[in-house]
């Protein structure tokens, strides 16, 4: 398999909901455009930020079809939706989503083995999935829900040697572990995309392919610019990293409710309705924090000359 996933920023896409808890496709279309104007290289659709564990199989399929129909031509789409428990259902689910024409299908690491099951079980199930799925690039996401299963070096090596895998959404948040993972996957075509905001710049300098994290739902342009200028202006890149790492404390607030509120401040018709968190958790003081973060982000971008839309 010679297909590669382009380097860059891949936001973990949100799912907008209407006030009566339906998928808001009008808002989703504007959200796709919003990402694109901020220079992202791709989209990670039907992931945890999309609230996949709270979407029906039909909703996941319909959302992905909509994303594929409305994405700009030069945007790569990787997608998951891999939430079923049984292996036959996982395979059936994957085939339906792959049929939408996505560029890569992303498995969730904790779906391949339970918390008390070892890598032998994981690799056996992975082999069965590979045998059943069409020849499409695959990925793995170390999703923290319902439990986080980090990929061992043995599993990563098997993935790299299979020739099928091209994408890993890394959530280990450990630069030294990332360094070892890069050594294991070197030359295989398997790319690692870091999800940890505080280590993005260091990890890309080590050899990671880019960023795929939740803060790209607040200011993806910060990460796009960081990666774009890191070789020509390392001081600017470090300034952007400093801002990104500090701002990422918003992850610990009420995500994804706060991300949807942030987007509404930026003019998108996105409600704070979510299925995974209660809107009431975004209290008045927390809303004030997000408003202040939004205002400071805009002032910071103005001061460093970062304008939207970004030139692609």
Q: Which residues pair with 170 in a beta bridge?
A: 194
> How would residue 300 be classed by pLDDT, with cut points 50, 70 and 90?
very high
User: What pLDDT does 255 receive?
Assistant: 98
Residue bearing tokens 């061992």: 152
User: What pLDDT does 312 receive?
Assistant: 62
Q: Which residues pair with 167 in a beta bridge?
A: 139, 191
CB-CB contact of 193 with 167 (8 Å): yes
> How would residue 3 be classed by pLDDT, with cut points 50, 70 and 90?
confident
pLDDT for 115-157, tens place per residue?
999 999 999 999 999 999 999 999 999 999 999 999 999 999 9
281-293 average pLDDT score: 98
pLDDT for 11-52, tens place per residue?
999 999 999 999 999 999 999 999 999 999 999 999 999 999
CA 312/CA 308 separation, integer angstroms: 11
- Does position 234 have pLDDT exceeding 80, yes or no? yes
In 3D space, the residue among 177, 191, 180 whose CA is nearest the CA of residue 138 turns out to be 191
User: What pLDDT does 201 receive?
Assistant: 98
Sort 197 into a burial class: Cβ within 10 Å, 0-12 / 13-18 / 19+.
buried
- Does position 2 have pLDDT exceeding 60, yes or no? no
- Does position 162 have pLDDT exceeding 60, yes or no? yes
CB-CB contact of 151 with 109 (8 Å): yes
User: What pLDDT does 258 receive?
Assistant: 98
User: What pLDDT does 4 receive?
Assistant: 85
Q: Considering just the CA atoms, what is the radius of gyration of the chain in Å?
A: 19
pLDDT for 165-224, tens place per residue?
999 999 999 999 999 999 999 999 999 999 999 999 999 999 999 999 999 999 999 999
Cis peptide before 256 (omega within 30 of 0): yes
- Does position 290 have pLDDT exceeding 90, yes or no? yes
pTM of the model: 0.96
Q: What percent of the chain has pLDDT over 90?
A: 98
CA 57/CA 46 separation, integer angstroms: 11
User: What pLDDT does 208 receive?
Assistant: 98
> How would residue 84 be classed by pLDDT, with cut points 50, 70 and 90?
very high
In 3D space, the residue among 155, 153, 90 whose CA is nearest the CA of residue 121 turns out to be 155
């Amino acid at each position: 398999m010679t297909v590669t996933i382009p380097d860059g920023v891949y936001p973990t896409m949100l799912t907008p909901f209407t006030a009566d808890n339906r998928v808001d496709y009008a808002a989703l279309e504007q959200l796709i455009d919003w990402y694109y104007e901020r220079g992202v290289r791709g989209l990670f659709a039907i992931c945890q930020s999309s609230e996949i564990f709270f979407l029906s199989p039909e909703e996941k399929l319909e959302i992905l079809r909509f994303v594929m129909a409305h994405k700009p031509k030069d945007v790569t789409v990787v997608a998951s939706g891999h939430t079923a428990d049984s292996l036959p259902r996982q395979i059936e689910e994957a085939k339906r989503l792959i049929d939408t024409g996505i560029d890569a299908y992303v498995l969730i690491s904790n779906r391949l083995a339970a918390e008390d099951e070892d890598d032998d079980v994981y690799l056996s199930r992975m082999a069965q999935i590979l045998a059943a799925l069409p020849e499409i690039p695959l990925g793995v996401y170390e999703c923290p829900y319902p439990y986080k299963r980090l990929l061992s070096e043995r599993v990563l090596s098997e993935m790299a040697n299979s020739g099928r895998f091209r994408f890993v959404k890394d959530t280990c948040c450990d630069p030294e572990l990332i360094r070892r993972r890069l050594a294991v996957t070197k030359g295989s075509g398997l790319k690692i995309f870091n999800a940890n905001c505080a280590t993005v710049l260091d990890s890309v300098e080590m050899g990671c392919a880019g960023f795929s994290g939740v803060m790209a739902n607040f200011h993806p342009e910060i990460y796009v610019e960081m990666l774009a200028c890191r070789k020509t202006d390392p001081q600017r890149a470090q300034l952007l990293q400093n801002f990104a790492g500090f701002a990422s404390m918003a992850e610990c607030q009420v995500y994804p409710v706060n991300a949807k509120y942030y987007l509404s401040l930026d003019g998108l018709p996105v409600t704070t309705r979510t299925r995974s968190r209660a809107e009431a958790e975004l209290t008045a003081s927390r809303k004030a924090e997000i408003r202040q973060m939004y205002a400071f982000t805009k002032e910071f971008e103005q001061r460093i000359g970062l304008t939207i839309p970004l030139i692609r």
